[in-house]
Amino acid sequence: MGVKGFVEGGIASIVAGCSTHPLDLLKVRMQLQGEAHAPTQPVQSLRPALAFPTTTTAVHVQPPPPRVGLVTVGVRLVKQEGVAALFSGVSATVLRQTLYSTTRMGLYDILKNKWTDPETRTMPLTSKIVAGLIAGGIGAAVGNPADVAMVRMQADGRLPPAQRRNYKSVVDAITRMAKQEGVTSLWRGSSLTVNRAMLVTASQLASYDQIKETILAKGVMRDGLGTHVTASFAAGFVAAVTSNPVDVIKTRVMNMKVEPGKAPPYKGAIDCAVKTVKAEGPMALYKGFIPTISRQGPFTIVLFVTLEQVRKVLKDF
């Protein structure tokens, strides 16, 4: 029973991850908008100001680039990097779903079977949340190297050509990171990944189960595609609202470039959060929310609809 839960969850997660990858990529690009590792300095003329009242020193302040929306980011990406760029890092997505989502879905299934009341065949919401927190945390720790690689591969195209990492695949990304930055770099931002995964898994899986059970118990709909789509979209919305701030910080910490002999742009998650809010305002923590919900909704729908179908196919195994 335990192994079956891992297989079912893994298949559903990989299908959902690959089908919504372009939206995830756009989300990462939007979350990195406006990021500055150093304050912009005014550029002053090197010539000394002449002692005449009519002469002033030229000061050129470079304004921050305007923030653009999901469609603009997508159109610009396709124009500059080609349609194939929408699937940059898809190999990392497959590995991430294989490691992270398979683990979290399988563990949640085990805990759910263990904690469900055999008589009422129900599980309290608090138990579902706890199961999601545990499963998400463990899954994230296992999948963090693929997560870092995925963020970097998705963000690479926005860098000037000379600064791009140009990873050939997820294996190349993980290998080069381990060699150039040390093995510990593969777990950069892992505390954020774990926190985000705990929030996502608890809100996504627990709310899906709870909403589905409520719909069926109240006789609003029968157990079928309509119920699965409704419950999964609601679960996706809850997960997006809960996890977006952590996701923004995670993306920035994972993507930061650490140069030898120089202090890193961010000392850690809290430092990144403080700098982000100071420089861009508190709503910066909800950057990329439209693509997050645009991805989280379809991802959660594909995930649970696929999962329900896979369970039907594998029910006799």
Q: How far is CA 295 from CA 22, 27, 134, 291, in A?
A: 9, 8, 24, 6
Report the predicted TM-score, pTM, of the whole model to 2 decimal places.
0.74
Instruction: Give me the count of residues in the chain.
Output: 317
Q: Which two tokens stand for residue 306?
A: 């696929």
Picking from 101-105, 167-171, 233-237, 307-311, which range would have the lowest pLDDT averaged per residue? 167-171
Three-class DSSP category at 51? coil
pLDDT tens column, 188-212: 888 888 988 999 999 999 999 999 9
pLDDT tens column, 65-114: 666 777 888 999 999 999 998 998 898 899 999 999 999 999 999 999 99
Q: CA-CA distance, 26 to 23, in Å (whole number)?
A: 5
The whole-number pLDDT of residue 224 equals 93
Q: Which helix (H) or strand (E) holds 111?
A: helix 102-115
Q: CA-CA distance, 68 to 56, in Å (whole number)?
A: 35
The whole-number pLDDT of residue 315 equals 87
Residues 297, 237 contacting (CB under 8 angstroms): yes
Judged against a pLDDT cut of 60, whether residue 182 lies above it is answered with yes
Q: Is 25 exposed, middle or buried (0-12, 13-18, 19+ CB in 10 A)?
A: buried
Judged against a pLDDT cut of 60, whether residue 46 lies above it is answered with no
Could you identify the residue written with the tokens 């693929």?
146
The whole-number pLDDT of residue 36 equals 64
C-alpha torsion 302→105→289→151, nearest 10: -100
Q: CA-CA distance, 23 to 299, in Å (whole number)?
A: 10
Q: What is the CATH number of domain 2-33+68-313?
A: 1.50.40.10
**What share of the chain has pLDDT > 90, as a percent?**
55
